[in-house]
Structure formats: structure tokens, C-alpha cells
Homo-oligomer: A and B are copies of this chain.
Amino acid sequence: MASLQEVARRAKVSIATVSRVLNRSDKVVPETRAAVEQALRELDYRPSRVARRLRMNSGRAHLVGLIIPDIQNPFYAEIARGVEDAAYAAEYALLLCNSDESIDKERFYLGVMRDESVDGIVLPPFDETDAAVAEFAKTGIPIVCVDRSLAQEKTDLVEVDNYRGAREAMAHLIAKGHKQIGLIEGRSHVSTSRERRRGYLDALAGHGLPVRKELMRAGDFKQESGRVLANELLDLRKPPTALFVCNNLMTVGALAALHQRDLRVPRDVAVVGFDDLPWAEALDPPPTVVRQPAYDVGRQAMELLLKRITEPGRPPVTVRLLPELVVRRST
């Protein structure tokens, strides 16, 4: 709780000198430096990050924000962990918020970020046209998008090659002989959904398979919608023999629906999910998934943010990481 003032008094110097000892390697004669350092130790002085933040223009708060839909979703937890580790390594603290896939909550938290004068934020935008984020971008506070991209604003971005992941998933299903493949995607204005759908459609076309519109359903990334939509698909007169489900929670929901109908996976219906699941090996059956390198997404996003903070003029960069098809026993 000791302030510069008190340290200065104890060391019988001015606060300017103390500050110099702390920050700049300005000219300070060894004796006074020693005296100051002793006072610093004796009082267990620690600079107030708050006062520092108030004084500085920006970029030195050593604080960044992370806004994600839900920390309980392992995909975002993994991203968060990547961000946090990179932040810790650079001695940055992290303001974490859960937006619940709600644009209003996201807007509220963006306000908090602004009011806290964070050095920058990391987030997956609500969708491609996210007005709250676009508006926030105008403040000049650095933004790094993860997972999902923005249509208008060009910001730093770390994403995964969703198109490729979808193509691989579909190629795998098709190689297994499936011709009627159901798609359960997320909200359709989200860039990841768009890309995965494109992969789905191109894969069908590439293998000379017809597109059946009724086999394509859009949910909201949550478990319940996976369950509901899987049931809808299975109620079709000509139901799909395989499901391509576009995120982890919806995959769990879809599997639950299959389970409840006593359908055997993969014999009756095969399933490929997007996003890996924790302890996938312990699941019944272990699901085949397109694994995203979520930890790296988070880590690299934070590193990009740090770069932008120190070098604001740098043109925005897009990092695209590769997903990986992990074949297990649901296909």
C-alpha cells in the first residue's frame, strides 16, 4: 500500500527520482539509487497499476480483455487458456467475460473494456456484421478476432481453415459410402458457419452428390439445438445416414438424440463433429471430429495483440491454422 510519496520520503529524495529508479535507466548516481532501492524493499513498494493506467495514453496498462461466449464450452476454455498463458508470459492480466452468444451482453462488456482502458481485446465476434465490435474498433483500441471474422472491419485475426476442415470431414464420410449426409450448422451469419457450409456443399458437388435442402439445418451452437435438429433430420421420410455437426456442443446434443432413439453409431447413423471434445476417448463411442488447435488460436491471438500494442501502425494480419481430422469410432 506504500506510494511513491512514502518511498521518496523514506529515501530522502523526490518522487521523480524514485520513479526514475523504477522505470527509466536514467542517470541516477549509484548511492541514491541504492538508498531508493532499500526504501523500496523496506516498504514492499508496488506501483499502482490503476494510477499508471490513468496517466498513460494507452498500451501500457498491461491489461487485456477476452470476451467469449461461454467459458464452460471446452473450445473457448482452451482458447482462453492459450490467451492467458501468453498474457502471463508477458505479465499482462486478463479481464474475462462471457457473452453467452448474446449481442447485448457483448456490447455491455465492450463498454467495460473501454471504461477500463484495456490495452486491447480478443474476441470471436457475434457474427460477421457485429455492429458492437465495429463501433468499438473506432476507439482505436486494438482488437484481435479469434475463430470468427468480421466482414467489414479489418482487424488482426486468428482463425482455422474451416472450409478445409469441412471438406475433410465430408470426404471421410463420403469415402465410407454415405450419400445422404445431414448438416447441422450454427448461426448462419457467423463466418465459421459459412465456411463449413461451403465445405459441405463443395464436397457434395465434388463427388457428384445431390444437395437436399431439407438435410441442412441451422442451430445456435448450443447443445439443445443439436438434439432438436438431429431429431428433425431423423424424422425425415428419407433420413440421412450420416451427420456432419458443426460444433462441439451440438455434436453432444446430436449424439444424445441418437442414443435416445436407440440408434447405433456408426452402424445406423455416422457422425462427424467439429471441435474436439475433452476425454473424447472415454466417450461412447469415441467421436470422429475435426480438431481445432484452440490453444494455439488463443496463444497466437494474444501474441498478435502484443505486437499490435507495441506497434500500432502495423497492417492487420490473418493467421490461419490447420484443423485436423481425428478419426475415431463414430464413423
Residues of chain A touching chain B, judged by Cβ–Cβ distance below 8 Å, are 1, 46-51, 53-54, 63, 70-72, 74, 77-78, 80-81, 84-85, 88, 93-98, 105, 109, 111-112, 114-117, 139, 252, 255-256, 259, 277-279, 281-285
Contacts and interface: CB of A to CB of B under 8 A. Distances in A.
B1 A139 contact: yes
Given A80-B71, A252-B279, A46 B114 contact: yes
Contact of A97 (B51, B77, B94): B94
Contacts of A252: 279, 282
Contact of A279 (B77, B88, B277): B277
Given A93-B109, A255-B282, A284-B285, 14 more contacts: A49-B115, A50-B50, A71-B81, A71-B84, A72-B74, A77-B77, A88-B98, A93-B97, A94-B97, A256-B281, A259-B282, A278-B278, A283-B283, A284-B284
A186 to B, nearest CB: 19
22 contacts: A46-B114, A48-B54, A49-B117, A50-B53, A50-B54, A50-B116, A54-B54, A71-B71, A72-B74, A72-B78, A72-B278, A74-B74, A84-B98, A88-B98, A93-B97, A93-B112, A93-B116, A96-B96, A252-B282, A278-B278, A279-B283, A282-B283
Contacts of A285: 284
Nearest to A93: B112
Given A1-B139, A71-B80, A93-B97, A48 B279 contact: no
A138 to B, nearest CB: 10
Contacts of A46: 111, 114-115
A98 B112 contact: no
A174 B47 CA distance: 57
B71 A115 contact: no
A117 B93 CA distance: 13
A94 B252 CA distance: 29
Contacts of A283: 279, 282-284
A239 B1 CA distance: 56
B115 A47 contact: yes
A48 B115 CA distance: 5
B97 A49 contact: no
Contacts of A50: 50, 53-54, 115-117
User: A50, A70, A95, A278: which has the most chain B beta carbons within 10 Å?
Assistant: A50
Contact of A282 (B78, B88, B284): B284
A279 B227 CA distance: 13
Nearest to A66: B96
A78 B73 CA distance: 10
